[in-house]
């Protein structure tokens, strides 16, 4: 069994640590800040199908893994995802599109009256497609649970130390700490979200993974949404965003989503290529969200946060061995779906690290060419 060093304590790093330790590998995970400090602790908390047939298996495997974590209390059936549309024709088109990408989601168009019936907190005037997916969880819960599982299986988790791969003559030797420390390892897994590109190849020659910053707002309110709610264009979020023309902050691009867990409701979110101050956008997001869910206008804001989606150019993660460096592996670039597909992808990479024949689809390999 190899000694494996993991860089990054997000959902991917923690999943990989738990899975490697379960199989008997000796694992050390290094996190520059604290577990879940990136998007894995600050996302919207929707475990949902990623609308991409190539990623569907990763989602299913992730749900199966989450079912084994008692902390998450995943219900037997999903609560359902409502993709909202002002225009009934838009909802029909979206349903047809999903039917070809993911027929198992059983897309069904709801007219305005049906929408109000199944989701009474919504304002009038919305049609929707209802999909058989969606498990709301507290945003940081999965990462924390997997971190605990990894520790209980003997993985060593180090927080507060930034590290990078230690490579000599095209072969990994371990990792180098920012404090000058050296940690030998047989294999190194880069699971550092949007920071992964420069760790895999400091010269910038490898695949770019760009940060797309998202602000979400947390509100407290007695009655929440029964489903996960998303503006129907949500599939367009899985893409790189360009720097906006100079303009007012009120022009900032956002798409409505709402994920309710008990009396806490996370609404989102923005899509910008630079960091933003979440507090400055909280009221704007609540104002926009109130057009869909009027009761949010009177709800108490209990938090606002920002984090970065690790966005690849083709909307798919990079999995497996890094060409040209023996012993270096990567699992990163999950964009807006890392909580829903990350643990499933970590499992494929763990298999590869442990020497099993790779089952990573060609369209997800670390060495694929992305236009
Ligand atoms: C606003 C928002 C909402 C989202 N909502 C959802 C959702 O509802 N459902 C869903 O499926 N996905 C969602 N996502 C996407 C999901 O959160 C991410 O895809 C996922 O968290 C990425 O996980 P990761 O482990 O790859 O990266 P990260 O969570 O970014 O973790 C990487 C870690 O690596 C650490 N690190 C970086 N460099 C170093 C270094 N040199 N040394 C040591 N450590 C290092 C970082 O500190 C960080 O903790 C959302 C994202 C955003 C931004």
> In the block, which residue shows the tokens 């966005």?
311
Element (H, E) at 150: helix 141-152
User: From edge to edge, which strands make up the β-sheet containing 163-168?
Assistant: 163-168, 171-177, 182-184
For the CA of 338, the closest atom of ligand 1 is: 19
Pair (27, 106) in one structural domain: no
Ligand 1: residue whose CA is nearest its atom 20: 338
Q: What are 187's strand-pairing partners?
A: 4
Kindly state the percentage of the chain with pLDDT values over 70. Answer: 97
The CATH number given to whatever domain includes residue 254 is 3.30.9.10
Q: CB-based burial of residue 245 (10 Å sphere; 0-12 exposed, 13-18 middle, 19+ buried)?
A: exposed
Quick check: is 75 in a domain?
no
Q: Is the CB of 340 under 6 A from ligand 1?
A: yes
Distance of alpha carbon 26 from alpha carbon 17, whole angstroms: 9
- Among residues 311, 329, 346, the one where a domain terminates is 311
CA–CA distance from 196 to each of 44, 270, 336 (Å)?
A: 22, 22, 16
Q: Is the pLDDT of residue 214 over 80?
A: yes
- Among residues 294, 311, 328, the one where a domain terminates is 311
Ligand 1: residue whose CA is nearest its atom 17: 39
Q: Is the CB of 49 under 6 A from ligand 1?
A: no
* Among candidate residues 145, 128, 29, 26, the one with its CA nearest the CA of residue 85: 128
Residue 96's Cα: distance from chain center in Å? Answer: 25
Distance of alpha carbon 165 from alpha carbon 74, whole angstroms: 36
Pair (350, 201) in one structural domain: yes
Q: Is the pLDDT of residue 232 over 80?
A: no
Q: Is the pLDDT of residue 246 over 60?
A: no
pLDDT tens for residues 174-209?
999 999 999 999 999 999 999 999 999 999 888 889
Quick check: is 370 in a domain?
no
Element (H, E) at 56: helix 53-67
Q: What are 304's strand-pairing partners?
A: 217
Q: Is the CB of 332 under 6 A from ligand 1?
A: yes
Pair (147, 120) in one structural domain: no
Ligand 1: residue whose CA is nearest its atom 12: 337
User: Looking at residue 196, what DSSP letter applies?
Assistant: H
29: pLDDT confidence band, cut at 50, 70 and 90? Answer: very high
116 alpha carbon to ligand 1 midpoint, in Å?
A: 34
How do beta strands 3-7 and 187-190 pair? parallel
39 alpha carbon to ligand 1 midpoint, in Å?
A: 3
Quick check: is 369 in a domain?
no
Pair (196, 243) in one structural domain: no
Ligand 1: residue whose CA is nearest its atom 4: 43
For the CA of 30, the closest atom of ligand 1 is: 43
Quick check: is 59 in a domain?
yes
Quick check: is 58 in a domain?
yes
> Considering its fold, how many domains does the chain have in total?
2
How do beta strands 108-110 and 127-131 pair? antiparallel
The CATH number given to whatever domain includes residue 331 is 3.50.50.60
Report pLDDT for 196.
97
63 alpha carbon to ligand 1 midpoint, in Å?
A: 18
Ligand 1: residue whose CA is nearest its atom 52: 43
Pair (161, 175) in one structural domain: yes
Pair (297, 357) in one structural domain: no
Pair (118, 237) in one structural domain: yes
Q: Is the CB of 193 under 6 A from ligand 1?
A: yes
Q: Is the pLDDT of residue 335 over 70?
A: yes
Pair (149, 192) in one structural domain: yes
Pair (113, 238) in one structural domain: yes
143 alpha carbon to ligand 1 midpoint, in Å?
A: 10
Quick check: is 65 in a domain?
yes
Report pLDDT for 204.
86
36 alpha carbon to ligand 1 midpoint, in Å?
A: 7
Q: Is the CB of 165 under 6 A from ligand 1?
A: no
User: From edge to edge, which strands make up the β-sheet containing 187-190?
Assistant: 156-159, 26-31, 3-7, 187-190, 328-332, 318-321
pLDDT tens for residues 252-282?
888 999 999 999 999 999 988 888 899 999 9
Count of CB atoms within 10 A of residue 19's CB?
Answer: 25
Distance of alpha carbon 163 from alpha carbon 17, whole angstroms: 16
Quick check: is 76 in a domain?
no
46 alpha carbon to ligand 1 midpoint, in Å?
A: 14
Kindly state the percentage of the chain with pLDDT values over 90. Answer: 88
3-state secondary structure of 55: helix
Pair (220, 325) in one structural domain: no
Q: Is the pLDDT of residue 234 over 70?
A: no
Pair (236, 348) in one structural domain: no
Pair (235, 303) in one structural domain: yes
Distance of alpha carbon 334 from alpha carbon 348, whole angstroms: 14
86 alpha carbon to ligand 1 midpoint, in Å?
A: 31
Q: Are the C-beta atoms of 43 and 338 separated by less than 8 Å?
A: yes
Q: Is the CB of 13 under 6 A from ligand 1?
A: yes
Q: Are the C-beta atoms of 349 and 42 separated by less than 8 Å?
A: no
Find the domain containing 115 and state its range. 81-135+210-311
- Is the four-CA dihedral 316, 55, 138, 304 of positive or negative sign? positive
Report pLDDT for 239.
78
For the CA of 333, the closest atom of ligand 1 is: 26
Quick check: is 46 in a domain?
yes
Q: Is the CB of 141 under 6 A from ligand 1?
A: no
pLDDT tens for residues 281-308?
999 999 999 999 999 999 999 999 999 9
For the CA of 215, the closest atom of ligand 1 is: 1
Residues contacting 33, CB < 8 A, separation 6+: 9, 159, 160
């Amino acid at each position: 069994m190899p000694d494996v060093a993991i860089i990054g304590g997000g959902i991917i790093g923690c999943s990989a640590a738990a899975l490697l330790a379960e199989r008997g590998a000796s694992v050390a995970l290094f996190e520059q800040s604290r577990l879940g400090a990136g998007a894995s602790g600050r996302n919207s908390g929707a475990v949902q199908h990623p609308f991409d047939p190539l990623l569907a298996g990763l989602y299913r495997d992730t749900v199966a893994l989450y079912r084994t974590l008692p902390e998450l209390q995943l219900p037997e059936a999903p609560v359902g995802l409502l993709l909202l549309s002002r225009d009934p024709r838009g909802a029909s088109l979206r349903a047809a599109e999903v039917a070809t990408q993911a027929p198992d989601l059983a897309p069904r168009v709801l007219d305005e009256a049906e929408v109000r019936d199944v989701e009474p907190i919504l304002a009038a005037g919305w049609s929707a497609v209802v999909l058989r997916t969606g498990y709301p969880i507290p945003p940081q819960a999965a990462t924390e649970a997997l971190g605990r599982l990894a520790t209980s299986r003997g993985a060593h988790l180090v927080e507060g130390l930034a590290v990078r791969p230690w490579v000599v003559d095209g072969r990994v030797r371990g990792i180098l700490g920012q404090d000058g420390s050296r940690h030998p390892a047989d294999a190194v897994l880069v699971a550092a979200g949007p920071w992964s590109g420069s760790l895999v190849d400091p010269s910038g020659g490898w695949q770019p993974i760009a940060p797309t910053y998202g602000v979400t707002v947390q509100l407290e309110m007695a009655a929440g949404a029964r489903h996960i709610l998303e503006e129907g264009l949500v599939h367009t979020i899985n893409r790189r965003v360009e720097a906006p023309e100079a303009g007012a902050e009120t022009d900032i691009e956002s798409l409505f989503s709402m994920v309710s867990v008990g009396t806490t409701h996370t609404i989102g979110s923005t899509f910008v290529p630079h960091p933003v101050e979440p507090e400055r956008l909280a009221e704007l997001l609540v104002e926009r969200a109130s057009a869909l869910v009027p009761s949010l206008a009177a709800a108490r804001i209990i938090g606002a946060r920002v984090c970065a989606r690790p966005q690849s150019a083709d909307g798919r993660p990079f999995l497996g061995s890094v060409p040209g460096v023996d012993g270096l592996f990567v699992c990163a670039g999950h964009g807006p779906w890392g909580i829903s597909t990350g643990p499933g992808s970590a499992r494929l990479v763990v298999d590869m690290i442990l020497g099993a024949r790779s089952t990573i689809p060609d369209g997800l390999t670390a060495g694929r060419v992305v236009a």
